[in-house]
Amino acid sequence: MITVRNLSRKYGAKYAIEDLSFHLERGEVVGFLGPNGAGKTTTMRILAGYLPASSGVAEVGGLDVLRQSLAVRKTIGYLPESVPLYREHRVREMLDFQGRLHGLSRAERRARIPSVLERVGIADRTESIVGTLSRGQRQRVGLAVALLPDPKVLILDEPTSGLDPLQRLEVRKLLAELASERTVLLSSHILSEVEAVCPRVIILRRGKIAADGRKDDLVQRLGGAAFVRFEAFVGQDVAAAVRAIRSVRGVREVVDRGRLGIHNVFEVHSDDDLREDLGALAAAKSWAVRELSWSRPTLEELFARIALDLEGDPHAASAPAAPEAASPVSSRVPSPAPSGAPASASSPVKFELPLAGSPTAPTAKPAGYRPLNPFEKPAPDVPSKVVYNLNPFDEGASRDLSKPKAISDGLEAPRGGAPSLEAAPKPDDPEASRCERP
């Protein structure tokens, strides 16, 4: 149902995904795993017709996603990581609108909407406003939207995001039901869910496929073989105990993990569960057994080994080197000329800014440098008084600022103080005639 061949997507010079190839059969449920930034969402967006690929081929149901995008969208149900819902709509209105977009008739919409709401567990929220729902409820509305057109292929990006544990169990059961009818590509960071639902997993790492196959095969091939943890008191001759354990049929390797209190701990590696045989050996040797447990590598351990192991990674060598320790003077400021040399006009003056807690170093001052002193008296060449001109009809003719002006024409104030009325003219002042309106 889904075929991907040499699929790549570039952003500038960086590949989000590079040369991906895989195939999903009808009725197959596949887990799509990888750390953040591995390319899972990019691949799903390309398959859903939301994002074009830079190169390669993606097909859904035999239809080319790029050339037959509209036909592909009719056959898939897509649940993005962030569900795009109209928050002002009611749940029923939202599903009705989506059904019309998919070309469903009114009769089909009336029949399917209650059914999908019942399947996702929000049938009692039909008339609720989407914006008033919790995040988990909105996630289930998005899942209902994906199921509404009865698609043959489901592409689900983090379908259980925001759900509580009980809701996750319900979605897990729903996905198990859908597996018999549809092809499902499921992305999730909750590996226990993927392990419970998906027989096959595809693990991405840095935009490339790091592992693809059935979960049990990958665990056995890449995660290490299963083993029996055998903890018992075997006496002082540990070497003889190891030889006795190796003599059991089916044992491939025995690893001595040392002592835990008075008991010795062994890992007995085998393809079969040998707990009964080891128990019989312990009874024959009169060993006091404390633990016999069967252990297999989990999907979490496999994921950590494949996706997070950076050994041999070509990108690791290209990491930028750590910057040198910063000095009190910025490296972008050129050094001053040597002592006795003339200062160049094009060479900026270097100012040393000592770090907090370090002794203050002497600083070079530029020519004409004068520290700012808020309590310093004004220079003699600066007028000691400022005249505030309040006359909008004054033509701005030059006048002596040391002489007082009429109150209508201006108020004088000492520098740094409020305007003063002491210099206001008397009524018989000839200059008072200037108060007349034009």
DSSP 140-178: HHHHHHHHTT--SEEEEESTTTT--HHHHHHHHHHHHHH
The closest alpha carbon to 429, from 406, 411, 400, belongs to: 406
Using CB atoms within 10 Å of the CB of residue 32, give its burial: 0 to 12 exposed, 13 to 18 middle, 19+ buried.
buried
User: How far does Cα 271 stand from its chain's mean position?
Assistant: 40
Domain 2-220 grouped into CATH 3.40.50.300: yes
Alpha carbons 278 and 272: distance in angstroms, whole number: 12
Token pair recorded at residue 272 = 């079969």
CB 188 within 8 A of CB 160: yes
Residue 139 CA to residue 311 CA, distance in Å, equals: 38
Distance of CA 187 to CAs 32, 111, 197, 372, 396, Å? Answer: 5, 30, 11, 64, 77
User: Where in the chain are the domains?
Assistant: 2-220, 225-296
- The whole-angstrom distance between residue 42's C-alpha and the CA centroid of its chain comes to 14
DSSP letter for 115, please: H
pTM (2 decimals)?
0.60
What's the CATH number for 225-296? 3.30.70.260
Q: Which two tokens stand for residue 93?
A: 């209105």
Per-residue pLDDT of the chain (438 residues; tens, 9 = 90+): 899 999 999 998 899 999 999 999 988 899 998 888 889 999 999 999 989 999 999 999 889 998 998 889 888 999 988 888 999 999 999 999 999 988 899 999 999 999 999 988 889 999 999 999 988 888 889 989 999 998 989 999 988 877 788 878 888 888 888 777 789 999 988 888 888 888 899 999 889 998 898 887 887 776 566 788 888 888 878 888 888 888 888 787 888 877 777 778 888 887 777 888 888 888 888 888 888 777 777 777 777 777 666 444 434 333 333 333 333 333 333 344 444 444 444 433 333 334 444 444 445 555 655 655 656 555 555 454 444 455 555 554 445 555 555 544 444 444 555 554 444 555 555 554 454 554
- Tokens representing 399? 């006048």
| CA-based nearest residue to 203, from 216, 190, 187, 226 | 187
